[in-house]
């Protein structure tokens, strides 16, 4: 399926089929691939937008509790083959999402913010998340 130097970008449907084990054809393929990722035999990057979509689908469509969503996605992000440079920010955002009533997008923005990269928003949830912000 490719050279060892490749880093694959993973789509939401692969993550969901792996986590939910709900498709006769795709879930076994996802599980086999993700097993290789868990052992570092394949390298993947999970873009933040894919994490957001996974959270929304799991929460809104499947009704999965936040704690379970965060545990599942965090476990994947801790696989040996994860190549995300933003892994720590995504994990921080997931924890904030689990422990608040805040939208995952705001949690990611807060986790990625810094004095050199403040968030511009009218959303008061960012203050609750202790994001670095500036006002217009």
Mean pLDDT estimate for the chain: 95
Check residue 136 and give its pLDDT: 87
Rounded (5°) CA angle 2-75-69: 115
Where does the pLDDT of residue 1 fall: very low under 50, low under 70, confident under 90, or very high at 90 and above? low
Check residue 105 and give its pLDDT: 96
Domain boundaries, the chain: 7-98
Q: What are the φ/ψ torsions at residue 71 (nearest 5 degrees)?
A: -60, -45
Q: Who's near 92: CB < 8 A, 6+ residues apart?
A: 111
Where does the pLDDT of residue 102 fall: very low under 50, low under 70, confident under 90, or very high at 90 and above? very high
Buried b (16+ CB within 10 A) or exposed e, 109-135: bbbbbeeeeebebebebbeebebebee
109: which 2 tokens? 């923005």
């Amino acid at each position: 399926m490719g050279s060892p130097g490749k880093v694959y970008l993973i789509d939401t449907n692969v993550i969901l089929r792996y986590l939910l084990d709900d498709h006769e054809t795709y879930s076994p393929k996802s599980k086999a691939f993700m097993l290789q990722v868990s052992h570092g035999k394949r390298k993947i990057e999970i873009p933040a937008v894919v994490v957001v979509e996974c959270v929304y689908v799991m929460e809104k469509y499947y009704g999965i509790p936040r704690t379970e969503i965060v545990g599942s996605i965090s476990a994947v992000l801790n696989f040996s083959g994860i190549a995300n440079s933003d892994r720590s920010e995504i994990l921080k955002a997931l924890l904030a999402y689990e422990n608040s009533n805040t939208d995952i997008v705001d949690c990611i923005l807060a986790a990625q913010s810094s004095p050199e990269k403040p968030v511009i928003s009218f959303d008061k949830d960012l203050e609750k998340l202790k994001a670095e912000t500036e006002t217009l």
